[in-house]
């Protein structure tokens, strides 16, 4: 049924911390690894070792640069800042990808809110991907069916794997702790508290999809240009003027006889 459930008590989803994500793409690869052997058809690659390699992925990392108004851009630093931006299915409450589906392949589970594709019904028309503002759905070129994040539905309820692994593969693998999994329908859950404390937000709220996944904004910080200027004196390898003790003795000893006496005194 491609009509949406009126409400789901549980709203399983991800909370993604844009402050801590380092853009290593480990979650992208962990996702591909798990899901190519798990739910439904494999995630195919086209010309994986050829001239134009490409393939289906359920999770992708974009990287943005943000320059504040009136900010200064010097080389690659100054006032601009870089934010790595992981993006996968947001398991929307008002998921247009579900209602547009003509075959009933696309559905949202009433019990936990996960949006899934039944590949035995999908005819590969691509309309769900058109309706998704987030680019969360990709047609698998080899299978001809639509692929999307399953929130690792075959891990999170899987009693044959250790309990610690019963979270989505991307969350399990993230080395920076930038991805969190939980029930966003429960205001007392860790993820809900995290969202409340850090001011988690929706992507493109104006599209009216009511996404379940939330994003945490990057924390306040000094402009990089300030940090560079402040750190310059101590960070410069030539500057040893205030070296004392053992290092001061080395500096003094090695400076003897060289044309320029103490480097730091220049």
Partner 1 sequence: MHPAYSVIFFTTLTGAGYGLAALLGFGLADPAMLSAKLGYFLALGLITIGLLSSTLHLGNPKNAIWAFSQWRSSWLSREGVLAIVTFVPVTVLAFTNIFMGLHIGWLGWVSAILCMMTVYSTSMIYASIRTINLWNTWLTSASYLLFSVAGGAVILTALLALFEGGSGDMPKIAIIALVVAWVAKWFWNKRQSEGYGGSTMASATGLGHLGKVKLLERPHAMENYLTREMGFRVARKHAAKLWNIAVLMGLLVPAVMLAIAFGLQGSTTAILLSVVAVFAHMIGMLVERWLFFATAKHAVSLYYGDTALDVR
Which of the residues 172 through 201 are near partner 1 (CB under 8 A)?
201
DSSP string covering 18-54, please?
TTT-----HHHHHHHHHHHSSSSS---EESTTSSS-E
Site string for partner 1, 44-83 (x = CB under 8 A): --------xxxxxx--xxxxxxxxxx-x--------xxxx
For position 26 contacting partner 1 by CB under 8 A, the verdict is no
Q: How many residues bind partner 1 (CB under 8 A)?
A: 72
In the complex, the smallest distance separating the C-beta of residue 115 from partner 1, rounded to whole angstroms, is 14
CB 59 within 8 A of CB 31: yes
Q: Tokens at residue 230, please?
A: 């402040």
Q: Which of 253, 192, 221, 198 is nearest to 80 (CA)?
A: 221
Of 7, 22, 74, 204, which one interacts with partner 1 (CB under 8 A)? 204
In the complex, the smallest distance separating the C-beta of residue 8 from partner 1, rounded to whole angstroms, is 17
In the complex, the smallest distance separating the C-beta of residue 227 from partner 1, rounded to whole angstroms, is 16
Residue placing its CB nearer to partner 1 in the complex, 94 or 190:
94
Q: Tokens at residue 103, please?
A: 């075959």
In the complex, the smallest distance separating the C-beta of residue 207 from partner 1, rounded to whole angstroms, is 6
CB 94 within 8 A of CB 210: yes
Q: Which of 230, 201, 226, 207 is nearest to 68 (CA)?
A: 226
In the complex, the smallest distance separating the C-beta of residue 195 from partner 1, rounded to whole angstroms, is 13
In the complex, the smallest distance separating the C-beta of residue 199 from partner 1, rounded to whole angstroms, is 10
In the complex, the smallest distance separating the C-beta of residue 236 from partner 1, rounded to whole angstroms, is 28
Place of tokens 């300030």: 226
- Among the listed ranges 96-104, 184-192, 239-247, 257-265, the one in contact with partner 1 (CB under 8 A) is 96-104
Site string for partner 1, 108-147 (x = CB under 8 A): ------------xxxxxxxx-xxxxxxx--xxxx-xxxx-
DSSP string covering 121-189, please?
T-----HHHHH-TT---EE-TTT-SEE---TTHHHHT-TTS-GGG-S-HHHHH-TT--EEEEETT-TTS
Residue placing its CB nearer to partner 1 in the complex, 13 or 155:
13
What residues contact residue 199 under an 8 Å CB cut-off, 6+ apart?
Answer: 216, 217
Of 20, 189, 207, 225, which one interacts with partner 1 (CB under 8 A)? 207
Of 5, 10, 44, 85, which one interacts with partner 1 (CB under 8 A)? 85
Site string for partner 1, 217-236 (x = CB under 8 A): xx------------------
Apex 224 CA angle, 243 and 79, nearest 5: 150
């Amino acid at each position: 049924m491609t009509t949406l459930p009126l409400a789901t008590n549980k709203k399983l989803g991800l909370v993604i911390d844009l402050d801590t994500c380092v853009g290593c793409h480990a979650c992208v690869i962990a996702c591909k690894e798990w899901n190519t052997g798990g739910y439904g058809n494999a995630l195919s690659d086209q010309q994986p070792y050829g001239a134009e390699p490409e393939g289906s992925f359920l999770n992708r990392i974009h990287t943005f640069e943000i320059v504040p108004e009136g900010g200064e851009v010097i080389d690659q630093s100054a006032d601009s800042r870089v934010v790595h931006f992981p993006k996968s299915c947001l398991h929307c409450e008002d998921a247009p990808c579900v209602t547009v589906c003509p075959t009933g392949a696309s559905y949202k589970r009433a019990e936990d809110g996960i949006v899934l594709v039944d590949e035995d019904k999908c005819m590969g028309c691509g309309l769900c991907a058109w309706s998704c503002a987030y680019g969360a759905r990709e047609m698998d070129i080899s299978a001809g069916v639509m692929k999307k994040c399953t929130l690792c539905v075959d891990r999170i309820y899987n009693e044959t794997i250790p309990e610690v692994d019963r979270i989505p593969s991307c969350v399990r693998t993230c080395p920076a702790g930038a991805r969190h999994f939980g029930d966003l329908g429960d205001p007392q859950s860790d993820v809900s508290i995290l969202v409340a404390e850090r001011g988690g937000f929706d992507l493109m709220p104006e599209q009216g999809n009511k996404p379940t996944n939330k994003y945490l904004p990057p924390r306040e910080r000094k402009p990089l240009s300030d940090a560079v200027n402040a750190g310059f004196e101590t960070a410069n390898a030539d500057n040893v003027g205030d070296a004392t003790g053992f290092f001061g003795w080395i500096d003094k000893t090695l400076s003897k006889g060289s044309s320029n006496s103490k480097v730091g005194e220049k």
